[in-house]
Structure formats: C-alpha cells, structure tokens
Structure 1
Amino acid sequence: MSNIRLRFAPSPTGYLHIGGARTALFNWLLAKKLKGTFILRIEDTDVARSTQESVDAILQGMEWLGLDWDEGPFYQSDNFPLYKEYVQKLLDEGKAYRCYCTSEELEAKRELAMKEGRKPKYDGTCRNLTEVNPDKPSVVRFRAPHEGLTAFNDLIKGPISFNNEELDDLIIQRTDGTPTYNFVVVIDDASMGITMVIRGDDHINNTPRQILLYEALGKPVPQFAHVPMILGSDKTRLSKRHGATSVMAYRDMGLLPEAMVNYLVRLGWSHGDEEIFSREDLIEKFSIEAVGKSAGVFNPDKLLWLNAHYIKTGDPERLATLLLPFLKERGVDPTDGPSLPAVVTTLQERARTMIEMADGALFYYQPDYPFDADAAEKFLNPETSAVLAELKTRLASLDSFDAVTIGAAFKELCTDMGIKLPQVAQPARVALTGKTAAPGIFEVVETLGMNETLRRIDRAVDFAKTTPVQGAV
C-alpha cells in the first residue's frame, strides 16, 4: 500500500448522478493503479437537504458499480466539534475575523459595486475591527491575502493561477455556527491525509480559496485534477431532459454495471483506439493525465452498444441471476420451467438490455402463450399441421436431445418431404414461441426439452386445423 490517498465525497441531496459516478470511478481506478487508499466521505453538513434516503442511494450506486472503498463511509456531520476547533484556531491566530454585516447591508454593497463597475465581493468592512460583540449575530470570515497570486498545476488542465485581489474573505462559519463547504472540505481532506483531489471542474473557482486555507492552517496542499463536465447531445450540461441521469436508473433499465463502468471511463479518457476494457485493463492502463480537457458528450446509443457486447459475452449463470428481478416484475417464476442459464444462452445474441432479455424469455415460462395473429394466420393452418405432426414424430424418436441432433432431424425431414428449412422452421417457431421473431429454433427446442416441445407442437397442430390456408407454405 502506497501513501497515495484519494476520496469521493458526494453530498446526500439526491441520487448518484452520472457525473458523480464518473468522478468516483476515476478516483477508484487511480487508487487501485497506484496501490493507494480510496476513501468514501459523505458531505452531509447541509442538514436541511441531506437525507438518509440519498445516502442509501449513493451507497447502492457505488456497490452496483463495484467501486468498493478502503475507508469510510465517513460523515461530515460527525465532525462539527473539529470544525469549530479549527474556526477558533484561525480566530486566535488572527487569520479569521467576525463579520457583523447583515444580509441587507451585504446586498446593498453588492449592488453598489456592480453599479460602479467593481467586482461584487465583500469590501472588508469588519476585517480590521478590534472589538468583538458577543451579543450581535456574526459570521466568521477567513482573512485572505489581497496581494499576489495563488497558483496550482492541475493534473488535467495544466497551470492555473488566480489573482488574490479577485478573491474575497470567504465565510467559514455561518451565523448559526455551522461551517461552510469550502472550509470543511479542507479540514476533512487535511485530517484524512488526502494527497490528490479529483473532482468536477465546476470546483475550479473553489480551489484557490481552499489552497489559501491549507496554507493558513499549515497543512500540506494536495494535488488537484479537475474533470470536465458531461454534456447532453445538445452540448448543454447533462440533465433529466437528456434522459436518465441517475446511475441506478440505468440498472433498472436493464444495463450491466460493467457496461456502465466501461462507458463512463471512456467519457473523457482514452487509451489509443480501444473501446472495450475489462476492470483489470482499466486499472492497468488508466492515468489521470490522459483525461481530456474538453467536456464529454453522453451518447445513450454507445452505452447500449457496450451493454449488448457485455450481454453477448457474459457468463450465463451470472446473467441468469441478474435477470431474476426483471422476470419477477413480469410475474414469471423461472423455477417452473427450463433452466434459466440455458434460456439466457439462447437470448444473449439478440438482447441489448436485461429488459429485452426478460421480454424475450417470457414464452419459455408461459405454457399457454397466445399466438401472434399474423404469424398464426400465415404459419399455423391445416397444410402446415401435417409438417408439424411429422416434426413431432421425428423429435419424439431422438435418442439425444441436443441442438445438433435436433437440427439434423429438421434437415432430414425437409429432405424427405421435399421442402426447404424455413417451411418447417417458421411453423415450428410459431408453434413453440407464439411468434416469428425468436432465438434459433434448434436451441429453443433443446432448451424447452422433449416433453414440453411435443406438448406445444400438439397445441399448435390443434390450433392449425381450425385455421384456413392463406397460401402455400
């Protein structure tokens, strides 16, 4: 284990967002690659908006993605005494001061500054007060330097600097005694020994203020890497109008976690022309310096393509387990029917999501499924009933019931009856599944098993005898 320490620090005011998940993934990958420590911290100091439901949703999203943490989860709300201690330390050292300006006074100052063409920052009215009035409400402000530069080398964006005169005296404690975001982040990162902060580039303007706080507290300043935001197809910030933004919503839409991880890491990072990465590949090849400087555009079609790949190449046993809740939603109990992993094997080639797979699996577990009207009219009639009856006889005589042997029986029947394979395969497909679009017919027959296949053919033959012929088979 190295001394590299990274963290993901979401606020529990909603679900785990796509952007947050990508940030967590980048931190997790780098920690794994560098054999460092990955820490999960819940930033719940906003008591009014933080909820346990959101905490649970974030933890669930992390677990679904497989982003396990080495330490935590830690909760900022447990550290209020520590924050108060550091506020007092800065006050005692003259590095912070009490500000008694009311919100109305501050608003008037801002309006005047804007009217005069000045930056609407705090004008320092209380910065040099020597008397403290304990009976008057006050905030605590950090006494920031007003000269010089605050600079850092961003691991993604390169050198960045800010003129200190542009930075105002940051409030570090509100009138109700609660600490503010920029202050508690510095205290937490310093006390946890965080050596690198990877976060969204919407935090860039916070970074110089936080660096000044590190320096005032005598704490080491971590390295920073600011990840570009994720945009929708219209190049605006990703939001609900572009589709689902919650990680768990994609699970419920039938996506696999490995597809989401693969897609998220490629949303801003690249390694040559490679598109598909195993988790081990990512840990080996990922580097924060290879993350692009420009925003990534979320492409649902690309995500769906990746998901189809992982379904097609996935382990049927694992996919069967993941499929269970989707079947349950459809009122299907797969214990009463063919082997679910065997069913999955027949569906992997076509399904793009677990929802599509669940819908495609229904006929296996519905013994009295309806026949599609158009398919039945075309393929289940008195003429095809003779073909199906002969098929039943031949299948019933097989010593082994595997796809190869079944396929040979189909082809032999075609030769003996002087017909082409579709002329028996399509009626059989409708007989066994109720529709024309289904997995390979030989695999379907094998998966259903002899007894169920023969029963379904009998049912279709009975139905076909009552259907008028619409044309030659």
Structure 2
Amino acid sequence: MSVVTRFAPSPTGYLHIGGARTALYSWLHAKASGGKFVLRIEDTDRERSTDEAVQAILDAMAWLNLQHDGEITYQTQRFDRYAQVIDQLLAEGKAYRCYSTTEEVEAMREAARAKGEKPKYDGTWRPMPGKTLPEPPAGVDPVIRFATPLEGDTVINDLVKGDITISNTELDDLVIARGDGTPTYNFCVVVDDMDMGITHVIRGDDHVNNTPRQINILKALVGDDGALPVYAHVPMILGSDGKRLSKRHGAVGVMRYREEGYLPAALLNYLVRLGWAHGDQEIFSRDEMLAHFDIENVQGGASTFDPDKLLWVNQEHLKMAEPEALVDELAWHLARQGVDNVDHARLAEIAGIQKGRCKTMLDMAQQSLFLFSSVSEYDEKAVKKHMKAGSPALLADVRERVAALDAWEGDVLGAAVKQTATDNEVGMGKVAQPIRIAVTGSAVSPSIDATLLLLGRDETLKRLDAAVAAFSE
C-alpha cells in the first residue's frame, strides 16, 4: 500500500512553528516511503478563514520547499460531496435530525454533571427500537447528529503514543451538520481523508480527542473491514517556561523567520529535532532527514523551543552552504533594504565571503550594504578611535599602492596593506581600520583584503580619495 499523508491547516492565521513541524513530519514520512504528500485547506470556518491567511500558508510551504503532490483541496469547494455523504448516513440510519436547541443541550450536560456523569447530549432525538420521538417543533432547523455506537471501544493505533482505547459510552452523538446545513470540522475531515486515500494522519496531539469520533464516522462509511488511517499524534512544543508555545516566547509565523534571516533548511533542521533524534547528530541536510527520519521514533513528550539553538543551527547551515545556494535569500533581503537587480555571480561572491561571519541572512545583507552605496557619513565613534593625525597619509599611501597593482586579488591586496604598515613602521590595525572607515563608513567589515576585493578597484580608489580629502581638512 502506497503511503499518502496530508497537511491540513485551517487558514485562520499564519503558519506557526507547530504547524510547520507537523507538515515536515508528514512530508518526510511520505517522501521517505516513496508516497504522496497532499495539501488540504480546511476553510469551512468562513468567519475566521481569510484569503490572506491561505496565501500566508502557501508562501510558507513554498519557502520551506515542502512541495505537495497534486492539486490543493479546499473544503469549501466540497460542500456538495459532504451533503451527499450526510444524506447517505441519514438513509442508512447512521445519522439523525436533532431539534434540541443549544440551551436544551446545555441543560442536558448540566444535568449529567450534577449526577457525576460525563456531560453530553442525552439522545432525545436519536431513533431507537420501540422509542417514540417527539413531534418536530415548527420553525426549528435541525442539526444532523452522527449516531455514535452505544457499546464497545474505539482503539487508536498511534505510532507515537501507542494504542489509546476510548469507551464509546464517553462519546457524544456528534453534530456533523449545523442547522443551516453547513458540515462540521470532524465530519469534513473524515470524508476528505476517505476520498483522498489518506493512509497516515500525522498531526498535533491536541487532536487526540477528535480521533475516536472521526474513526467511528469513518467506520460507518467504509464498514468494519474498511481501511482506516494509521494515526501519529505528535506532542506540542513548549516555551522555556514549560507553557504552550505562544507569541510571548517568540512563536511567530514561519515567514517572520525568513524576515529575521533564517534559512529554510536551518529552520527545518531545527524543527525535525524538536521531538526526534538520530543518535547525537544535530545538523541535517534534507537528504539526511529523508534517509533517517522515522515517525515511530518521535518522542511522546513535549519539546522546548530554544531560540538560541535555532540561531546556532542557522549559523552552521550558513557555514556549510555553497555560496550559490544563498543567492536567492541574499537577493530577497537586499531587496528589502532597497538594493535590487544584483547580478547572480556578484551575490554568490558576496555570500562566499560573508557566510562565515554572519549569524543570519539579514546580518549578511545589512553587512553588505556598504557595497551598494557611497559612504555618505563616517561613524563618529570609529573615527574618534581609529582616525589619527597620520591616518590620511597612510590612506594616501595605500591608495597609491593598490592603484598600481596588476591584479585585483585578495592575497595581493592583503599583501599591499601589510607592506604599507611595515614600511610606515605601524601596526596592521593602524592601517586596516582607517581603510575600513574610508571605504565602508564604519570599523566593521570582512577582512580588509576581502572588503577591497568585493568593492573593486574603481570604487575602492574613489572612496579612498574621498576619505583622504575629508580627513585632511
């Protein structure tokens, strides 16, 4: 049997870290098995679902490169199918119309609580042998309830938590269609999973309570001998204080991590390790994740989100990345800083020099801005610390030496700067730091040879001339 998994977000907000990890686990399980990974947008909550949220989810999935197979399924485009299945269940006596009002159902639940019983609907409108039902009240649009089995147990064969057994006596007769005819979440999920041939449902453990209800509906549709999905409920992600991850812990939409300069490969690497391990290995490529990931090895306990660890993982991915692999992200970040249309080879050159110095792609972009605009002002603190009375003469000396070079290469440039320091009997810093200020405006840049190499001959000479003039006054 070919594996088919799904990721089924509700478009009521951005794609958060927990959802991204679920999507990753589902994608890995499908792809490692040679199966299919499908995307379903569960947008039946029309009051809270928005087109902007749908797009945010799609953007995040594309950035993470978790590509789905086939067309995206939208639940709002399947209402006719849901109505067909509801009619089928009604005709087979596996669902029924219920005219109890919300207030009446709440009173039933309160009465059950008072008796120390599980609060649930009491089955007033459920057809039973020998039972006479009340006359339907005029002017009331009934809900449709699923007739949950009154006996036996429902067993969830969970790949993460192990077998979970729930007595059917604890379950309500679930509403599967509201009074206005719109289907409910738990019902739509079942029909979708059945129609899409989902073999493995990997989702957060906040859905454990939904699963026995969904299994019972699915059994009613496919029969006791029909195929059921295998479930894997992954534990939640906690903040450092042990509470459920939220915005106060830095839990933001996935695309915010792009804005902050994280690489998609690094974010996925960090997420796969939130609850799963392969020995002591910390850094994984995508191919390594596919080779080693096993959903049954996901731990049953919650994981803690550590921003410092994520930043470290990102730095490691930056270091090991080929410069060409960083071009798209660098271009994206530079564009947000107002720098557009930079040549691919130029971006790769910058990334190759900067990647070992930066923690994030945002750092890289910001620390590379000096390459794309002339120096309009010099950092006052840097000038006060490094620009001395003899600095303009040293800058003029360097200018003449590098202007005379036959080749504009890093080692040659570095040698010229060192020779300037030697011939003038000063330390390297007395030359290098004034050069940095002259060509970047600050005392922070890549190595001086790399800085000049990236600037190029003409721009370097122009900026050195401007600095000599400015600091000779």
If the TM-score is normalised by the length of the shorter chain, which range does it land in?
A: over 0.9
The one-letter code sitting in structure 1 at the alignment partner of 2:307 is P
Q: Is the 8 A contact 2:159 2:231 kept in 1?
A: yes
Task: Output aligned runs, 1:86-105, within 5 Å.
Answer: 86-105=85-104
Query: How big is the shift at 1:58?
Result: 1.1
The residue that corresponds to 2:72 in the other structure is: 73
The residue that corresponds to 1:469 in the other structure is: none
User: Which SS does the other structure have where 2:378 is aligned?
Assistant: coil
Task: Output aligned runs, 1:290-309, within 5 Å.
Answer: 290-309=297-316
- Does 1:144 find its partner at 2:145? no
- Does 1:462 find its partner at 2:462? no
Work out which of the residue numbers 420, 423, 440 in structure 2 matches 1:416. 423
User: Which SS does the other structure have where 1:59 is aligned?
Assistant: helix
Worse-superposed segment, 315-324 or 69-78 = 315-324
The one-letter code sitting in structure 2 at the alignment partner of 1:442 is D
Work out which of the residue numbers 247, 272, 276 in structure 1 matches 2:254. 247
Instruction: Give every structure 1 segment of 4 or more consecutive aligned residues whose post-TM-superposition deviation is greater than 4 Å.
Output: 129-132, 333-336
The one-letter code sitting in structure 2 at the alignment partner of 1:147 is E
Worse-superposed segment, 224-233 or 309-318 = 309-318
Q: Is the 8 A contact 2:375 2:441 kept in 1?
A: no
Alignment partners' CA distance in 2, 1:374 and 1:455: 23
The one-letter code sitting in structure 1 at the alignment partner of 2:353 is T
The residue that corresponds to 1:347 in the other structure is: 354
- Does 1:212 find its partner at 2:216? yes
User: Which SS does the other structure have where 1:382 is aligned?
Assistant: coil
Work out which of the residue numbers 196, 202, 212 in structure 1 matches 2:200. 196
Alignment partners' CA distance in 2, 1:350 and 1:368: 22
Q: Is the 8 A contact 1:320 1:340 kept in 2?
A: yes
The residue that corresponds to 1:321 in the other structure is: 328
Task: Output aligned runs, 1:104-253, within 5 Å.
Answer: 104-128=103-127, 133=136, 136-217=140-221, 218=223, 219-253=226-260
- Does 1:395 find its partner at 2:402? yes
The one-letter code sitting in structure 2 at the alignment partner of 1:257 is P
Alignment partners' CA distance in 2, 1:333 and 1:137: 59
User: Which SS does the other structure have where 2:444 is aligned?
Assistant: coil
Q: How many residues align?
A: 465
Alignment partners' CA distance in 1, 2:210 and 2:386: 69
- For residues 423-449 of structure 1, the C-alpha deviation after alignment (integer angstroms, 9 at most, x for no partner) is 211221222212112110011111112
Alignment partners' CA distance in 2, 1:130 and 1:322: 68
Alignment partners' CA distance in 1, 2:350 and 2:439: 14
Query: How big is the shift at 1:249?
Result: 1.2
The residue that corresponds to 1:362 in the other structure is: 369
Residue segments in structure 2 that go unaligned for 5+ positions in a row: none
Task: Output aligned runs, 1:368-383, within 5 Å.
Answer: 368-383=375-390
User: Which SS does the other structure have where 2:209 is aligned?
Assistant: helix
Alignment partners' CA distance in 2, 1:464 and 1:61: 49
Alignment partners' CA distance in 1, 2:291 and 2:260: 30
TM-score after normalising by structure 1: 0.94
The one-letter code sitting in structure 1 at the alignment partner of 2:185 is Y
User: Which SS does the other structure have where 1:463 is aligned?
Assistant: helix
Query: How big is the shift at 1:269?
Result: 1.1
Work out which of the residue numbers 436, 450, 456 in structure 2 matches 1:449. 456
Worse-superposed segment, 386-395 or 339-348 = 339-348
Alignment partners' CA distance in 2, 1:181 and 1:98: 18
Alignment partners' CA distance in 1, 2:317 and 2:58: 24
Q: Is the 8 A contact 1:231 1:296 kept in 2?
A: yes
The one-letter code sitting in structure 2 at the alignment partner of 1:454 is L
Q: Is the 8 A contact 1:269 1:290 kept in 2?
A: yes
Alignment partners' CA distance in 2, 1:202 and 1:45: 19
The one-letter code sitting in structure 2 at the alignment partner of 1:209 is R
Alignment partners' CA distance in 2, 1:411 and 1:231: 52
The residue that corresponds to 1:471 in the other structure is: none
- For residues 127-180 of structure 1, the C-alpha deviation after alignment (integer angstroms, 9 at most, x for no partner) is 235557495421111111222211122100111101111111111111111111
The one-letter code sitting in structure 2 at the alignment partner of 1:152 is I
The one-letter code sitting in structure 1 at the alignment partner of 2:115 is E
Task: Output aligned runs, 1:282-293, within 5 Å.
Answer: 282-293=289-300
Q: Is the 8 A contact 1:380 1:461 kept in 2?
A: no
- For residues 377-424 of structure 1, the C-alpha deviation after alignment (integer angstroms, 9 at most, x for no partner) is 232233122222211121112111111111222222233222222221
User: Which SS does the other structure have where 2:44 is aligned?
Assistant: coil
Alignment partners' CA distance in 2, 1:351 and 1:99: 63
Query: How big is the shift at 1:313?
Result: 2.6
Alignment partners' CA distance in 2, 1:328 and 1:284: 36
Worse-superposed segment, 131-140 or 91-100 = 131-140
Residue segments in structure 1 that go unaligned for 5+ positions in a row: 467-473
* C-alpha distance 193-314 of structure 1, shift in aligned 2 (>3 A): same
User: Which SS does the other structure have where 1:38 is aligned?
Assistant: strand
User: Which SS does the other structure have where 2:34 is aligned?
Assistant: coil
- For residues 95-130 of structure 1, the C-alpha deviation after alignment (integer angstroms, 9 at most, x for no partner) is 222111111111112222222322111111112355
Query: How big is the shift at 1:54?
Result: 1.5
Alignment partners' CA distance in 2, 1:238 and 1:215: 35
Alignment partners' CA distance in 2, 1:276 and 1:329: 29
Query: How big is the shift at 1:216?
Result: 1.4
Alignment partners' CA distance in 1, 2:359 and 2:32: 31
The one-letter code sitting in structure 1 at the alignment partner of 2:113 is M
Query: How big is the shift at 1:335?
Result: 4.5
The residue that corresponds to 1:311 in the other structure is: 318
The one-letter code sitting in structure 2 at the alignment partner of 1:306 is V
Q: Is the 8 A contact 1:363 1:369 kept in 2?
A: no
Query: How big is the shift at 1:362?
Result: 1.6
Alignment partners' CA distance in 1, 2:421 and 2:254: 51
Q: Is the 8 A contact 1:244 1:250 kept in 2?
A: no
Worse-superposed segment, 196-205 or 91-100 = 91-100
The one-letter code sitting in structure 2 at the alignment partner of 1:199 is R
Alignment partners' CA distance in 2, 1:46 and 1:335: 43
Query: How big is the shift at 1:247?
Result: 0.7
Query: How big is the shift at 1:68?
Result: 0.6
Q: Is the 8 A contact 2:358 2:364 kept in 1?
A: yes
